Structure 1
Amino acid sequence: AASEGTQQVVFAVLATSVTLIATFVPISLLEGQVGRLFSEFGLILAAAVVISTFVALTLCPMMASRILQRSKSISPAEREEANPDASTHLPETVMSRGYNALLKRALDAPVVVIALAIVFSLGGVVLYDTLPRELAPREDRGVAFIPMTAPQGSTANYTDSQARIIERDLLPFQEDGSIETVYSIVGWGNRPYRGFVVMRLAHWDNREASQGELVRQMRPITRRLIGARAGVASPAGLGLRGSSTPLRIVVGGPDFEEVKQAAAELLRYAESNDNLINPGMDYEENQPQIDLKLDRRRADDLGVSVEEIAFTLQSMFASKKVSSYIDRGREYPVIIQAQKKDRRDINSLENVFVRALDPDSGARKLVPLSVFVSATENAAAAQLRRFDRLPSITISAGLSPDYTLGEAVAFMEQGAESILPSSIKMSYSGQSKVFKSASSGVLLSFSFALLIVFLVLAAQFESFVSPLVIVLSVPLAVAGAIYSLTLMGISLNVYSQIGIILLIGLMAKNGILIVEFANQLRSTGKTVREAVLEASILRLRPIVMTVISTILGATPLVLASGAGAESRVAIGWVIVGGLIMALILTLFLTPLLYNLMAGLSKPPHSQALETQD
């Protein structure tokens, strides 16, 4: 019995294993920071499937032959009388009898079943657009912080006074034990008007409120702060930097003047959104500067060259090496420069003279430098940055606790379409760049995994019909995962997307069990309807058992708590919800599709017999 049972399921086990491996491998091929996180994950799962396949085909049959007790023997006559059409006798149960009756009705009403499956899948498509999107779920890491921005030009003492106001308002949280320590960093980023208040929360077991709940309770503190802009933020998942400003939009263009105007308009648009905390840009014209303008026509009339004026300005106000001398075997440079009192302000230009040509006498005389050069005080940016070799300005902002990165990026993209001219290019950096690349990378991996699974099954079944029947059940699993995410209020992040990719292999496994055994029965001469009915009923118990075991295995992820629980909960609910919601429809849709499409191909065994004849 163990030998015959193993021979009967060996193809299904191999097909299932190869399908799972084909699903896990694309996960390890993801690029960027997300790829580095999940590369080991995919390879370890693939290796585990290989080992479990070997155990299932070797150790499990041996243990079954030794441990299972011999059942009551049934004579061929009794077996024929009990079920004349079945090659394998199994005791009927209430579940199998009920499933048999419902399956016959489903096969007689294909339009109803297909319509239900389509409506179920389209519902998932509609809900997919409503799901909040973010790079990673906000995990309870036991720490929160408040980035603070005072008016430009504020001193460090003023910024410190605003930080002390926040620290005073946080005292109730320290008294009830929610916060252990609070400390502030003033002059953050070498800017005296920037501050950073860090709150280290109590251990998870010693506080009732989660980090997200505490952050929501702290929001009124920042709203009451009048002397500075502030907002409460949480550290990012995946070990990414830039938690205080996850939204980073890079505005690039042909020149800084045009980029500055476009970035200023986009910044005003960002400031209109209350869910964006402390929006700002890295282009700040707060560096004192003196602009010099040369009157070239007057200099030409007086016979003074531009080179002479430039040489004089450099020599007197900057410095100029004009010679060198040697003393005791060492060479020293000779540098000329005006004294500090003679280069203190703009009026110092009147005390510097150059030789000019007198138009009346033709003689040269000394003329103040201010005759040719006019000076104006101005302010400029301390640094001019480039991104992708273009002059660029980065707009950054934090996010409120209930506002996701996907919503923020979509908001800025909508504003950029109406604000930015065609000559201006918008791109992303920091967490926003990782979010955009991860979203497209996971979608590509999902499509790649689905294609590989289809091709692998086509090679194993030597037909395109059977793999198509199996793969068409995947949309039901994805829709079920989206329903579960919506019901549980979980965002669509990199963890839930990885769970959706895993569903491809998990759902294909159920279809393989039905389709492969139905092909075996067809090779014995049964019709398509008879084969799919018997295969579905005989494979009902294995399918339900594997689904239940998978759900039980993912249950600890759903019930996870503590540090990093949000990430595990996202994967767990995708697997549990996708399998539960899609199982019922799959048990009817896969047999129905096989009954409709299997007639287009012949099982391999029958083809081999025709060749021999």
Structure 2
Amino acid sequence: MNPLKTFIKRPIFTAMLMAAVVVFGLFSYPRIGVDQFPDVEFPVVTITTVLPGADPETIEKNISDPLEEALNTLNGVDVLKSVNLESVSQIIIQFTLDTNPDIAAQDVRDRVQATLQQLPEEIDTPVVEKFDIGAAPILTLSLSGALPIEEMTQLAEDVVKPALQRQGGVGSITVVGGRERQIQLVVDPQRLRGYGLAVSDVSQAIAAQNLDVPGGRATDSGRERVVRLTSEVKNVEELRNLIIASPQGAPIRIRDVADVVDGPEEARGAASDAGRTAVALTVRKQSGTNTVQVAESVTASLAELNRTLEAKGVYVSTISDNSRFIRSSIASVQFDMVLGGVLAVVIVLVFLRNLRSTIVAAIALPVSVVGTFAIMAALGFTFNMITMLALTLSIGLLIDDAIVVIENIVRHMEEGKSPAEAALEGTGQIAVAVLAVTLAIVAVFIPVAFMEGMIGQFFYQFGVTVAVAVMISYSVSMILTPMLSSRLLQEHGGPGNKVSAAIERLLVATERGYHKVLEKVLNWRFVSLGVAVAILVLTIMMAGFLKFTFIPSSDNGNIKVAVELPIGSTVEDTQAVVASLDQQIRALPGIASTFITIGGGVQEQVNKGDIHVNLVSIKQRNFGQEDLKTYLRQNLPQRPGVIVSVQDISAVGGGGNTQQVQFNLRGDNWEELIASAEKVRQFMLKNPGLVDVDSTYRSGKPQYDVQVDRERAAQLGIVPAQLGSTLRAFLGQDKIADYREGGETYDITVRLPPATLASAEAMGQLPVRAPNGTLVELRNVAKIVPSEGPVQIDRESQKRQITMLANLAPGYSLGEAMSSLTSYGAQELPKSVIYDFAGNAKEMGKTVSAFIQALLLGIVLLYMILAAQFESLIHPFTIMISLPFSFIGAIGALLVTGQAMSMFAFIGIIMLMGLVVKNGILLVDFTQQLREEGKNAHDALLHAAPIRLRPILMTTIAMIAGMVPVALARGDGAETRVPMALVIIGGLITSTVLTLVVVPVVYSLLDSLSMRFKRRKGHGAPHVVPQHAAHEVPETAPRSRVGGVS
């Protein structure tokens, strides 16, 4: 039995079938999470190793080098690089995308474990972690009040952090700017020498006396008891009175050689909120959880948490909430979708001028969208920037199939058929054509879902979402639309009102005018095709003026002002400069809040600080984020030696550089690499399109090189390792014992007074105990030489690397920057220096390549679908010849509006491939039907094209209407969607106009060539194309049978 007839004859069955789709979609909707990006995993693993007090060159030589040597042989390693800083080695391994991230991480752990014996014993255990794209903080909170910093830090660690971690979905929480309580023994070297003691004597005395040791078990009166030795100090005063030694019976106590300071640890970082000292907590979500739900859960818990903290005079406030931008962006897209859908329906109403027909067509929209929710939930997709973009794109598509079906049903009703007959025959007549249109759109988007590289991981959900939505739309048009048409459309409509009649006259006039134009171009085929090709060539030449970028900058209301003082600056120096800049920024209009962080983290670069600036909502200010960045660059005061950079805050976790332009220089000759980096920096500074020019290389890190006199040390029985331990003990790098109080454990450390380290001479007087018990000054066994060293050493592929950094000035594109630097590198850099791009620049190159491959694969699939539909190897070219003509409007729209070609504009171009062939399919399919009825190509084209004009215009204008709200959007995240909408609108306009002319001309030319070939082979009669015959326009009288609003 004909399924179509079943759907029409059994309306309840059909309605329930579609209702099931809606019910499943509505049931699935609450289960779909909300996030900024799809939840994807990349096979990237990091290894962080800490060696306290070590300089970058020592870190490189003793940690990164042996680890890289071992890790480089792992299977699937694509990129291996490292960052070597003071005390810290961080190695980043990027595996090929077909590698399982969990297996890769375990392989790395195993290899690191096997290499531990080659690493210094003093290192902290290396930390191996998988890269998580969602690891960027979703919330930053501030704990502030009148308490000392060490007490606020303890509250943050012991009260606030556990309370937040109890909220569902919360992952790691990092405390920033805190300083824990620490018991510091500030040892006086002069007093030590006076008593004949070394720092090792102090450490050993505390370790020997401050302990709690189990003694075993004893039986007392038949009862077993546990015996333990309790000798831990109970308070700081008791620690001061600990005896170090008792020569001649006179005890020497800790207080005799050191001042015991109970207070916060040494400041290696700081934070402040609106000028007040604070402790920040950055909250990250667990992988795979819903950003918005986690943020809402944490925010809701703050009220109860603040009630708990109120008695202590401190409170927790929200500094930044990334979920606000996500919610606002999603809401903006939803508004654009609804408005676009409404406009598309209005266009349908204008063309059909029949409320019932319009309702039948409009029903396809919500049913298709809601049905897509069910598949999204089943596949684990979220509502994110990518999937919402897919649904927005689909709005104009989802009503297309229903429009074509209804228009054909209406045409059959005008021929005198009943609604049921018209529904059956009209739908059946174009079912194959509509299927071909649907498969054509799926064909161009499925390759997007399976693109290679990082971009392919992101756009998998995009391609699948569009394909699913379009397939559901086709099902609705073949199942629900015919049934509703047979029941709701009236066989005899009224004459219609004046507006309806006027619209009908306009449409009839358009069809007749098109018929005349078409007749002329078919008589001047080569001229017509030549003009179209000339326009295309001119457009391709104009494409040279296009700018290229990766992702348009998005106004998410958050920027960062990075401040760097000269090497050697203290925390206090950095705080003073950053606080001054912060005060000026907070005085500007449109600033919601600011937050300062200094140093901190494992890197502890105390000469660096960041001002995190949060803007009020984009609806509450009359300037954009880019405007503020430009203003700050131009107006923040310049200070000697201070580097200020204004940057966007990355929404992707994982750390690393965030500048828009990252240009790597790599080589074996370090001095040559430094010189090349300086040349490139000077070149970049001369380019007005580049701002915030910088590099990862820093020289001038002040340091002391302690050069051991091996012979003298050997004579005294002192080994270099002993000297290293003494230095670490004196300089406060080692914890010598624990101090417990109130259930908490604090570090006891030893350090020297700052004045003792003021010069190499003073440091040379530090006492070291020889094996025979005598004290030897450090200068007697080593030479202390002041020097300078690099602050940071980067490596990639086991070669040293310097990365040049910059941001883009307004109006300057990433493509222009890449072209400029590539040209300079080829002409000016030594052959031994390797150069390439990182960050957005690197990904843009990969993205262009991936999109071109997807485009080519989509075109191949299109050809196969069209060849299968028309059972012809030639006629697919008739339709596909219209593809390049869509570029005319797409490129023109970008040039006119000043938009750059970006990743999202590429999506628009791919979308055009499916939309453009849709019009050609409708036209050629009907022409072929008329040919089968006996008409020649010329007559068939003149008859079919005007009849298909109306559905082509209707679907095209409906699609454009659906894109207009997106093109005009000004809400959060609109910057990424606008280029896509402009490309689609511009491409649709030019491709539709030219398709209506070029496709018939090419069809006619190919048909003539085919007939000539057949004649030469002796097949068929001569084919004559009438040159000047008069042809009547097909019947296009006012559609009184269904006209008017019912």
- Displacement of 1:237 in angstroms is 6.7
User: SS of 1:589's equivalent?
Assistant: helix
Structure 1 residue corresponding to 2:592, chosen from 161, 177, 180: 180
- Displacement of 1:55 in angstroms is 1.9
Q: What's 2:979 paired with?
A: 570
- Displacement of 1:104 in angstroms is 0.9
> Residue type of the partner of 2:431?
V
> Residue type of the partner of 2:703?
P
Q: What's 1:250 paired with?
A: 664
CA distance, structure 1, for counterparts of residue 927 and residue 861 of structure 2: 23
> Residue type of the partner of 1:25?
I
Matches within 5 A, 1:503-582: 503-582=912-991
Tell me if structure 1 keeps the 8 A contact 2:704–2:786: yes
Q: What's 2:686 paired with?
A: 272
Q: What's 2:436 paired with?
A: 15
Structure 2 residue corresponding to 1:211, chosen from 625, 642, 652: 625
Count of residues paired in the alignment = 542
User: SS of 1:525's equivalent?
Assistant: coil
Q: What's 1:409 paired with?
A: 818
Tell me if structure 1 keeps the 8 A contact 2:706–2:782: no
Q: Tell me, yes or no, if structure 1 residue 470 matches structure 2 residue 879.
A: yes
> Residue type of the partner of 1:572?
A
Q: Tell me, yes or no, if structure 1 residue 156 matches structure 2 residue 571.
A: yes
User: SS of 1:163's equivalent?
Assistant: helix
Q: What's 1:397 paired with?
A: 806
- Displacement of 1:103 in angstroms is 0.7
CA distance, structure 2, for counterparts of residue 216 and residue 259 of structure 1: 32
Call closer, same or farther: CA 1:346–1:171 in 2, change over 3 Å: closer
User: SS of 1:385's equivalent?
Assistant: strand
> Residue type of the partner of 2:591?
I
User: SS of 1:278's equivalent?
Assistant: strand
Tell me if structure 1 keeps the 8 A contact 2:532–2:994: yes
Q: What's 1:79 paired with?
A: none
- Displacement of 1:133 in angstroms is 1.9
Higher helix content, 1 or 2: 1
- Displacement of 1:140 in angstroms is 1.5
> Residue type of the partner of 2:949?
L
CA distance, structure 2, for counterparts of residue 92 and residue 400 of structure 1: 49
Q: What's 1:125 paired with?
A: 540
Tell me if structure 2 keeps the 8 A contact 1:169–1:221: no
CA distance, structure 2, for counterparts of residue 19 and residue 389 of structure 1: 47
Structure 2 residue corresponding to 1:58, chosen from 469, 472, 479: 479
CA distance, structure 2, for counterparts of residue 594 and residue 212 of structure 1: 50
CA distance, structure 2, for counterparts of residue 137 and residue 18 of structure 1: 31
Q: What's 1:418 paired with?
A: 827
Structure 2 residue corresponding to 1:45, chosen from 463, 466, 477: 466
Higher strand content, 1 or 2: 2
Q: Which moved more, 1:521-530 or 1:216-225?
A: 216-225
CA distance, structure 2, for counterparts of residue 289 and residue 141 of structure 1: 45
User: SS of 1:9's equivalent?
Assistant: helix
- Displacement of 1:226 in angstroms is 5.4
> Residue type of the partner of 1:529?
H
**1:120-174 deviations in whole A, cap 9, x for unaligned?**
3223323333222222111121122222233333333333333234234334424
User: SS of 1:173's equivalent?
Assistant: coil
Instruction: Give structure 1 stretches of 5+ with no counterpart.
Output: 73-89, 321-340, 353-369, 603-608
Tell me if structure 2 keeps the 8 A contact 1:240–1:431: no
**1:58-92 deviations in whole A, cap 9, x for unaligned?**
322222222223359xxxxxxxxxxxxxxxxx998
CA distance, structure 2, for counterparts of residue 394 and residue 537 of structure 1: 61
User: SS of 1:135's equivalent?
Assistant: coil
Matches within 5 A, 1:126-525: 126-174=541-589, 178-187=590-599, 190-222=604-636, 224=638, 228-236=642-650, 244-285=658-699, 286=701, 288=703, 290=705, 314=720, 317-318=723-724, 377-525=786-934
CA distance, structure 1, for counterparts of residue 462 and residue 484 of structure 2: 30
- Displacement of 1:94 in angstroms is 0.8
CA distance, structure 2, for counterparts of residue 313 and residue 114 of structure 1: 89
Q: Tell me, yes or no, if structure 1 residue 109 matches structure 2 residue 109.
A: no
- Displacement of 1:229 in angstroms is 2.8
**1:9-39 deviations in whole A, cap 9, x for unaligned?**
1221111111111011111123444333322
> Residue type of the partner of 1:486?
L
Tell me if structure 2 keeps the 8 A contact 1:17–1:53: yes
User: SS of 2:588's equivalent?
Assistant: helix
Call closer, same or farther: CA 1:561–1:259 in 2, change over 3 Å: same
Call closer, same or farther: CA 1:464–1:244 in 2, change over 3 Å: same
Call closer, same or farther: CA 1:345–1:521 in 2, change over 3 Å: farther
Tell me if structure 2 keeps the 8 A contact 1:244–1:398: no
Please report the TM-score for the alignment, with normalisation by the length of structure 2.
Answer: 0.47
Tell me if structure 1 keeps the 8 A contact 2:662–2:804: yes
Call closer, same or farther: CA 1:373–1:217 in 2, change over 3 Å: closer
Q: Which moved more, 1:483-492 or 1:155-164?
A: 155-164
CA distance, structure 2, for counterparts of residue 601 and residue 71 of structure 1: 45
User: SS of 1:170's equivalent?
Assistant: helix
Matches within 5 A, 1:581-592: 581-592=990-1001
Call closer, same or farther: CA 1:125–1:7 in 2, change over 3 Å: same
> Residue type of the partner of 1:17?
T
CA distance, structure 1, for counterparts of residue 952 and residue 722 of structure 2: 89
- Displacement of 1:2 in angstroms is 2.3
Call closer, same or farther: CA 1:308–1:170 in 2, change over 3 Å: closer
Q: What's 2:1003 paired with?
A: 594
CA distance, structure 2, for counterparts of residue 3 and residue 38 of structure 1: 39
Instruction: Give structure 2 stretches of 5+ with no counterpart.
Output: 1-421, 494-504, 727-755, 769-778, 1012-1018, 1021-1046
CA distance, structure 2, for counterparts of residue 538 and residue 27 of structure 1: 34
CA distance, structure 1, for counterparts of residue 657 and residue 537 of structure 2: 36
> Residue type of the partner of 1:270?
M
- Displacement of 1:292 in angstroms is 6.5
Q: What's 2:27 paired with?
A: none
Q: What's 1:606 paired with?
A: none
Call closer, same or farther: CA 1:293–1:593 in 2, change over 3 Å: farther
Tell me if structure 1 keeps the 8 A contact 2:916–2:988: yes
Tell me if structure 2 keeps the 8 A contact 1:560–1:569: yes
> Residue type of the partner of 1:183?
F
User: SS of 1:403's equivalent?
Assistant: coil
CA distance, structure 2, for counterparts of residue 484 and residue 237 of structure 1: 29
Identity level (%): 30
> Residue type of the partner of 1:10?
A
CA distance, structure 1, for counterparts of residue 914 and residue 988 of structure 2: 11
User: SS of 2:636's equivalent?
Assistant: helix
**1:419-452 deviations in whole A, cap 9, x for unaligned?**
2222222123233322222222222222221222
Call closer, same or farther: CA 1:318–1:236 in 2, change over 3 Å: closer
Tell me if structure 1 keeps the 8 A contact 2:764–2:784: no
Tell me if structure 2 keeps the 8 A contact 1:399–1:405: yes
> Residue type of the partner of 1:39?
Y
CA RMSD of aligned residues (A): 3.9
Q: What's 1:68 paired with?
A: 489
Tell me if structure 2 keeps the 8 A contact 1:465–1:600: no
**1:235-292 deviations in whole A, cap 9, x for unaligned?**
3577896674222222222343443333332233223334433333333332636496
> Residue type of the partner of 2:625?
Q
> Residue type of the partner of 1:249?
F
**1:323-356 deviations in whole A, cap 9, x for unaligned?**
xxxxxxxxxxxxxxxxxx9x9769979x99xxxx
> Residue type of the partner of 2:963?
A
